[in-house]
Structure 1
Amino acid sequence: MNQKYSNMLALELAIYQVHDQNYDPTDKIADFWKKYDIRTIQNTISLLLKKSADCWPNENLIDRSQKQVFGFDRLAVLIAYFHVHNDYVDISKLDFSDAESTMLSLDELEITKRIHEFFGRITD
């Protein structure tokens, strides 16, 4: 399979796996932190941003800036998750249920759930 399509498939599977019967998000979090340390995450994001700039030298400056901001935000949230786990921070009162991004995410998960169920019925 072409590497480009293989990467896209892996990203899609990451979304659809949440609908598997045995899916446990805590396993994913633990697996991630067993696999990566903060320095590796930082270096990887930096490398991805550099490769993006190398591959698309004429890329719109706004698009490149958005990628950089997303990379920085991703690193910051991963470090925050690490601290929540490591320092036993109680996040039960954290509420972003009415955020627009939450609504969009819930819509996306509902769509992927229906697709997952459809393909589940086909394979049965």
Structure 2
Amino acid sequence: MNPNYSKFLSFDLALYEIHDDGYDPLRTIGTFWSKYPMHTICDYLIELQTDLKLRSPNAEQKIDDEQLYAFSTDLYRVLVAYLIAHYKEIDLSKILSSPVRAIVKEELETSKKVYDFFQNSPQIDKST
């Protein structure tokens, strides 16, 4: 098989594997959050949005193509898992393990502090 086409196969498999008897959307979701903290997800998404044509010739790509491809596949897999969990009305409250839950809590607290800082800072007068 052409190596370029084999990359697309894993996207198809992410959709077809939901029919496997052992498929567990909660495990897929938990694995994703264990593997990708929010700041890492942000880094990958920014890298995916960076237009290679706009990159300076000497600029290094921060995340290599294989990592971006693996992330894209994992992201698709977790979206499908959330869809299946929603469709089957599965309780999502116990997805995250304690260590992951602690990391998420810390990330949310930090982002809340940043949000509050900017909400409480003087606004620029837009009327001028």
TM range (shorter): 0.3 to 0.5
TM-score by length of 2: 0.42
More helix by share: 1
State the structure with bigger RCO (CA 8 A, min sep 6), 1 or 2.
2
